[in-house]
Structure 1
């Protein structure tokens, strides 16, 4: 495969291998060596893009900026909505999925299944990383903190949350050894140096933002610095780069919604990156940014119109608890009655009356099935999350 942009190939090296605990079939137990891949150091690499690729990247950046700057008073609500959307889609790429109800319960902190809990943890990780990036620089400590937030409740890997791996990992193949692996990342003792080099790359100012985000993401996935959670943190890094470069200031772009719709092509282009072919990966990231920005604008329009639709159905008295509820449900689509009291400044009895009124009109529904400590969700807001992903999927043509 001949690269069109001059980008160094990954090297390889054969290393000794021995299972720490004897497990799996004999073929796994008798593996004695493994061929690891060694990503290049790219921190100060000269990045030269073709004119057409620069133009595509500039258009994608404009589309993202238009979304970020054009939402007016809906921007705060849209920001939270898009962080949830991006985190859910990024989790789905890793085959982590949950029902809307389970996800809603996990959002409010109610014990739910592991997938829903993990999806909510991805929200915290993404939020943490982009907020730090907004301060002007991305540091290794920011990456580690995002990983800690992602993994600290993980039933298997919580012990390594926020820590670079101290073992050899691999992608695909056997669960018990790197036999048949699709990709074997660099040895763990090289991770810190490679990540320090990557931080030099992501904090540069001389690379077009979308290309920088795409290449940084691919390099991160090649380093694979964690035992688990690499994909979700690596995709969070994309939006972190866009935030640091000022492409966005208050929203995230739900790029993972596009990537999950054509997962095979996305993974193939990460493989191509290791062979020195990067143009198509940059093109994909630019196209994903433009498409996701346009569909996020459509969701912003839907969300902005919901309070008027709700008021037409409920016809609340102006200033009543029900009326005030309709103003905060875009920001807080899953809530308890105590939160209604706090947000509306009313008493408990009025809050319950307002909840009952909205429930009668099917604007909200109860998601716990309990008599105490009950939680309600605004169905229209949560359903728009799935609707955005569905619209994106319809516009993406999966690679053959």
Structure 2
């Protein structure tokens, strides 16, 4: 870490690290600011992002689930956030593991843990508000997302006791940022969480987007765990939105698609307390993510209309009712369908056979038992790269 890369206020916060790194210094980050933050070049984008939050809130009011806690959206968030840390899986693998995890890889189980953690804590955030952001919550998040990581050193859900650094080529001498010494982690994390609880002036002087940028910067600067900090830090973003009464958006697919801009903006904020680049980045992430949700929803509605033209479905039939489930459950078993529709196993098998006959579902295993079915056209829409237009099948002639 080069001192000349650090702003004066950060250089004043340097503390010598313990042996065997006593020749190096870590940053004990100052408490997050509660006063208003100048937005600079990010002002216009920030305003558009606030409008986008209003748009998605209006959309959510028309849906059965006002928080858009979709299985697929949360799993895309999990995939992208984990990929940023080098843990790779695919949406297909993840959805199959939800049905049968017998042959799941460690990576896929880790990504599934992230998605399940998100689904578990979002309702708590919406009901408890900012009071959720306490030390036990952060420790529980870390334990949940790291429990199946075979390479993790130490016990998931406990604060680090070792020296860590960010960037470089594996040696601290070439790092771009050194988080605080281990004995300062608890106090620094407490400052992060106190800020996130929004009991101070920041609730009046800063927008939610600004608070997200500052809290994310401070959490990653503290780096409270030996590993998994990025995943937990990005989990906190939708939780902050839900705690503020907003629709939680999953920003990691945008972050993954623009990772170099993300890292550059985060580094500016950590090294120089320069907030506008990261506020602007998160603002753009919100705008683009809202657009992505709208485009995906429109595409799946068109697809379902196309499906209804492929067969004369009997009104109220299990096959017809199943069509509305396939955007959230594009990979499923007969048992899953029976549970979701509250129908008998023979009725579920009949519905699946009818949907396979017209190409809405495809059976993947070739087995006589424990079959897994996929709505491949839904997966094509969902698996497209972030920002690309969805591909839709031609309507029946």
SS at match of 1:136: helix
1:270 to 262, 266, 270: 266
1:229-244 equivalent positions in 2, closer than 5 A = 229-244=228-243
1:59 maps onto 2:31 in alignment: no
1:130–1:240 Cα contact (<8 Å) kept: yes
Q: Select 1:114's aligned residue among 96, 103, 106.
A: 106
Please name the residue that 2:358 is paired with. Answer: 361
Q: Would the alpha carbon gap of residues 7 and 302 (structure 1) be closer, same or farther in structure 2, given more than 3 Å must change?
A: farther
Distance 1:92 1:353 in 2: 39
How far 1:82 sits from its partner (Å)? 2.4
Q: Distance in 1 between matches of 2:141 and 2:50?
A: 25
Q: Structure 1 residues 275 and 234 mapped into 2: Cα distance closer, same or farther (>3 Å)?
A: same
Gap change, CA 1:96 and 1:125, over 3 Å in 2:
same
In the TM superposition, residue 304 of structure 1 has moved relative to its aligned partner by 2.9
In the alignment, structure 1 residue 70 sits paired with structure 2 residue 71: no
1:360/1:181 CA distance change after superposition, 3 Å: farther
The answer (yes or no) to whether the contact 2:238–2:249 under 8 Å persists in 1 is: yes
What is the TM-score when the length of structure 2 is the normalising length? 0.84
What's the C-alpha RMSD, in Å, of the aligned pairs? 2.7
1:155-202 residue CA offsets vs partner (Å, 9 max, x unmatched): 222852222222222233455x53433332112221111111111211
- For 1:129-208, what aligned pairs fall within 5 Å after superposition? 129-134=121-126, 135-137=128-130, 138-157=133-152, 160-173=155-168, 175=170, 178-204=172-198, 205-206=203-204, 207-208=206-207
Mind listing any 5+ residue stretches in structure 1 that lack a counterpart?
A: 1-5, 19-30, 393-400
Partner-residue secondary structure (3-state), 1:160: coil
| Contact residue 17 and residue 163 of structure 2 kept, 8 A | no
**1:244 to 1:58, Cα distance in 2 relative to 1, 3 A:** farther
Q: CA deviation at 1:222?
A: 0.8
User: 5+ unaligned residues in a row in structure 2: which ranges?
Assistant: 1-6, 390-397
Matches within 5 A, 1:333-352: 333-352=330-349
Cα drift, residue 97 of structure 1: 2.3
- Alpha-carbon deviation of 1:257? 2.0
Q: Partner of 1:16 in structure 2?
A: 18
Change (3 A) 1:41 1:73: closer
Sort the Cα spacing of 1:32 and 1:217 in 2 relative to 1 into closer, same or farther, 3 A.
closer
The answer to which of 196-205 and 347-356 deviates more is 347-356
1:316 aligns with 2:340: no
Range with bigger deviation, 374-383 or 285-294: 374-383
What's the secondary structure of 1:36's corresponding residue?
Answer: strand
Change (3 A) 1:372 1:173: farther
Q: Secondary structure at the match of 1:17?
A: coil
2:265 corresponds to 1:253? no
Conservation of the 8 A alpha-carbon contact between 2:300 and 2:378: yes
Q: Deviations over 1:48-91 (max 9, x none)?
A: 32477455434312202311321423656953132222222222
- Tell me if structure 1 keeps the 8 A contact 2:331–2:375: yes
| Partners of 1:77 and 1:331 within 8 A in 2 | no
Instruction: Tell me: CA distance 1:105–1:76, structure 2 relative to 1, closer, same or farther (3 Å).
Output: farther
Deviation at 1:328, TM superposition (A): 2.1
Q: Please state if 1:41 is matched with 2:31.
A: yes
Q: Distance in 2 between matches of 1:59 and 1:388?
A: 23
State the 1:385 CA deviation: 2.4
Could you tell me the TM-score, scaled by structure 1's length?
A: 0.83
Contact kept, 8 Å, 1:96 with 1:115, in 2: the verdict is yes
Q: Verify the 8 A CA contact 1:125 1:147 in the aligned structure 2.
A: no
Q: Distance in 1 between matches of 2:385 and 2:292?
A: 6
Q: 2:377 aligns with which of 372, 380, 383?
A: 380
**Secondary structure of the corresponding residue to residue 147 of structure 1:** helix
Q: Is the 8 A contact 2:14 2:26 kept in 1?
A: yes
Q: How far did residue 314 of structure 1 move?
A: 3.5
Contact kept, 8 Å, 1:254 with 1:293, in 2: the verdict is: no
Instruction: Answer whether contact 1:105 1:368 (CA < 8 A) is retained.
Output: no
Matches of 2:364 and 2:287, distance apart in 1: 35
Which sits farther off after the overlay, 280-289 or 239-248? 239-248
Q: Distance in 2 between matches of 1:270 and 1:92?
A: 18
